[in-house]
Structure 1
Amino acid sequence: MGTDLRVLVAIPWRPQPSRMLAHDWTVARYRDLLPDAEIVDVDTGHELFCLAGCRNRGVRLAEESGADVVVLGDADTLPEREPLLAAIVSAPVNGKVNLPYDSYRSLRGRGTREYRSGKPLRECDHLEVAGACSGVYVTTPATWWAHGGQDELFLGWGAEDAAWWVAHTTLLGAEPVRHEGAVFALGHESAVKEGPQYTANFARCHRFHQAQGDREAVWALIEEARAADDVLPVGGP
């Protein structure tokens, strides 16, 4: 890497048969790109899988291990080398969460089969997801907690990343820093995108969007989540 930074890669993960191969490819990818980094799977005690909670726990593990930078990488998303390294070097300097991509490519079934057959990632069939802000985050613990981490009231699938974007832009005064490159989301069986929890997630995300630009209102939402779960670190406006 050409740097003395200590890096921990935290992969939110609760085993599911349809996602095992994607998880294994993701771990192998990080071992190849970051051979000196510690790589850990992360889960929480939430009954429903909580992606936000896993990310927060990953940052705590980075703090406990003395890591300078934590990469929060979804268990189905493959980054590219140069933008990932650029994000790692930049994160301690710019004080923002860094996204090692400006192109989010969902490979779905066809592209994933092509990758499995040996086709280079950039040549695989894909769907470009405009405005995506999930998949891989690169941050320091201090930056993560400075805008409240992610909201653990988002359970199951959906919307924690959109709410996080509001918190980042409002509390840190800028969007996350993007680096030129792509990430590739592997295809697998999709989570259920309906039901009471799904509806509740997007209702809560709407409240974040209503609070956009209002520091006190955003911190109130963060404190609401802390009071409900009592897991986020102390902080405030």
Structure 2
Amino acid sequence: MKKSTAKLFSKPLVAIAALSGGAAMTAPVTAQAEISGNIGVVSEYLFRGGYENNGTAVQGGIDYSHDSGLYVGYWGSNLDYGTAPATTGFENDVYVGYGAMAGDFSYDVSLLYFYYTGVDDADTPEFGASIGYGPVSLGMAYLIDDVTWGNEGDIYWSLAYETALPSDFGFSATLGYYTYEDQGEFESGLGTTESSGLKHVDLSLSHPLGATGADMSITYMIGGTDRTDTDVEDTVILGVSFGF
């Protein structure tokens, strides 16, 4: 099945990260306390190189960020795994963390809880941490419990880069790598045959949608392999998001 972030590896606040499946978990460090939100639509919902919805997904969240660096938030999305019988549901991510900057360096630690409606044996906490320098960030997310989409001790590693381009375009690139535990409560370790592997590479381009306040984006995901050494297909994802 799968799996966000606290933030770095869950579902970020911007369209590019949401499309790329957890590209940037670090929470925004603001000059003052604020509440912000986001809502968007993507043509497909992929998370860390795996499908969470084979069709259109509506996603959104809300965050509170304090000038001390503390933040709390919620993010959600509808799910459709396209299996027989059909498995649909809703993902709810609740997280708390701390992020700060020291010059060009940034760091973040967070705890996220995945809670699902309509999907059995999938709820779990996850610990995340990241460091960054300028436009580059490196992070990890550690799965704390056995679930139907992962084993306790699975670690998702992310190397991300983002930059502004001319004419208000934005670009991001994310490399996602997994280290796997081969034993777990479900399906004898989910059939794990690999100890680690490259899961995906995401290349994303975004641009404001006129004067609407929304952003449109396109992501090309280069698929790697999963924990059973099965190839992940390349795919293109389109999205529109609005922050408020």
TM-score (norm 1): 0.29
Instruction: Tell me which of the two structures has the higher relative contact order, counting C-alpha pairs closer than 8 angstroms and 6 or more residues apart.
Output: 1
More strand, by proportion: 2
